[in-house]
Amino acid sequence: MAKKLVIKVTAGADAPERCSQAFTVAAVAVASGVDVSLWLTGESSWFALPGRAAEFELPHAAPLPDLLDSIMSAGRITLCTQCAARRDITEEDVIQGVRIAGAQVFVQEAMADGTQALVY
């Protein structure tokens, strides 16, 4: 089993099931003791902002704020640099603990030994 899981989520409210699946897998992995790095890209970028996860609804799915809190408790959440810029999101805007980083950092994480990468 991989020692680290890197998950890139590209979907937000535009594809709620795919979005929810990414957050659910990340939260379950964290709860299982896996080192998780969740990357918010595309429409999921909005969930780096305070209160935005609470606006997300999907029947029969765990609440996104709960999943986000679970992931942040022992994992890392990163907002894509370009995605943030396209949405005028700055480091001052994001939830405390969310970092903004670019493709170079994503590639480094995804290519590290013992790492499994998933994209939703």
Q: For the segment 72-108, what is each residue's pLDDT rounded down to a tens digit?
A: 999 999 999 999 999 999 999 999 999 999 999 999 9
Average pLDDT over residues 22-44: 97
**Average pLDDT of the chain to the nearest whole number:** 96
Q: Is the pLDDT of residue 2 over 70?
A: no
Query: Which residues are within 8 A (CB) of 28 and not within 5 positions of it... i.e. 6 or more apart?
Result: none
Its pTM stands at: 0.95
Would you state the structure tokens that stand for residue 114, as one six-digit string?
A: 């013992």
Q: What is the length of the chain?
A: 120
Q: What share of the chain has pLDDT > 70, as a percent?
A: 98
